[in-house]
Structure 1
């Protein structure tokens, strides 16, 4: 069966309150499944202003209007406005997603803090941020998380190791082509990675002739041929759950027409024979359409 997993990153307070319910309604209406990964601590989106100094950031912003998708109020959280505690203030929404039958997992504690600093932070800092998210997740859902998808695909060696200690079922922190066992600085980590295999809307819109009206056609061309291990598509509650919801509906219908079953990342994982998966190094590198570096599936190990 052709499987395409939908991984939904929820970054902000607004995305949780407005985007998540809209996505739940759309998915249920089309009979599609998905995995929701939540930001569980404070929304400090306004602190992302420091990224203007990052190479490529302003080019990306010029293609996709940040104000249009996130709103002025969200862009002030953590600077002129206090950052709302997402996990605490939106606990009912988070629980309703799980009650609706969707898999839920950890995206991060503080999205901006993780995305902007984890690559260079210490092991203790990394464990502390993950443990805050773990504690809040358990508080909200009453059971431990079994999956994690890193904010901005930002990781460091301790983050992978800590996932192994947590006995996660699997994780989806990387970009790549197929599922694999990660090798971090020569050290195998026993937590399967299901990398995002397709580009995201914000990486595509504004490039060449791609617009919100035709970007779904480009993505459908990328999924026309059936991949051996299926696909993982990452979407954002702030984009596909709000202004780009019609674009996402066209994508979902297109994938259904192509014969895909739209599933959670857990269902994709359960379809794998993990004993036959290859080991690949993980490395930080650049990806077209994104500023800075992010975690990528590297060469097969040993090469």
Structure 2
């Protein structure tokens, strides 16, 4: 038996108001733990159109029904329509998640801004963006955030330093196979423990190799069959919280049958001893089914 931490990325205003409440109800009904990570500033989803020249982006869009999942109006925010401020409009929705017993944390201030610009900007930019999100979180919840999960798995050493300086206790900003401590080239820790996403997401799988919305859960359950190592599964309020709720129900039932415990990132982190975690670099690389570079669990620092 293993633990599977459910990490829920909430990217948009629509996902917050229409996807989060049913997800909360579904998970409570199932008795599953989970961590909700919120986008807290303006929804500028429409500006993602500027990724059209990125290799693989148009192919991903064509096979994952972006308009159907996100809605046409959402795809106009920040381009032809002003981007609604998610944190201001949906503070009550966010607080209701914590009141329901779930862990809450920070995804970002502006999802598209972070995802498209982090790697091209300096450390001061990363610090400023993260501080805006963390300050808004404190305004909404009355307490400081302990967990962060980077938008689009866009992350680097500057962002790790920002987490460390702003009191983030643990994070899930990367892709990988097991928890680790991020370190600089000299081997010095640069941020809190990373609990990387270990399983592929629905939008990375659907439309490839004969995988459909109706059988994608079977593919994921194959990955966790007889697993003894803990996993982190990232789901999205705009997908599993809305049109693909049936996939999440099938996954929860399957994981329960396999004997796995469904937990939050906090629960998973509580089982770890940071002193014994491997000390690894943060790398940039690609993931099958997703366009562009992502932050990956890298190699150990040479002695």
Length-normalised TM-score, structure 1:
0.98
Partner of 1:125: 125
The runs of 4+ residues in structure 1 deviating greater than 6 Å are none
Partner of 1:207: 208
Please tell me whether the aligned partners of residues 120 and 156 of structure 1 are also in contact (alpha carbons under 8 angstroms). Answer: no
1:119 & 1:253 partners in 2: Cα distance? 39
Quick check: 1:94 aligned with 2:105?
no
After superposition, the C-alpha distances for 1:262-301 in whole angstroms (9 at most, x for unaligned) are 0001100001122211111111111111101000001123
Aligned residues: 302
Partner of 2:231: 231
5 Å matches for 1:95-244? 95-186=95-186, 187-228=188-229, 230-244=230-244
Partner of 1:59: 59
Query: Which ranges in structure 2 are unaligned for 5 or more consecutive residues?
Result: none
From the superposition, tell whether residues 163 and 219 of structure 1 become closer, same or farther in structure 2 (CA, over 3 Å). same
1:147 & 1:51 partners in 2: Cα distance? 28
Partner of 1:285: 285
Q: How far 1:185 sits from its partner (Å)?
A: 4.1
Please tell me whether the aligned partners of residues 203 and 289 of structure 1 are also in contact (alpha carbons under 8 angstroms). Answer: yes
Length-normalised TM-score, structure 2:
0.98
2:192 & 2:86 partners in 1: Cα distance? 27
2:123 & 2:5 partners in 1: Cα distance? 31
**Secondary structure at 2:52 match in 1:** helix
Further displaced range: 169-178 or 219-228: 219-228
Q: Cα RMSD (Å) of the superposition?
A: 1.1
Please tell me whether the aligned partners of residues 160 and 191 of structure 2 are also in contact (alpha carbons under 8 angstroms). Answer: no
**Secondary structure at 2:194 match in 1:** coil
Query: Which ranges in structure 1 are unaligned for 5 or more consecutive residues?
Result: none
Partner of 2:77: 77
2:62 & 2:120 partners in 1: Cα distance? 27
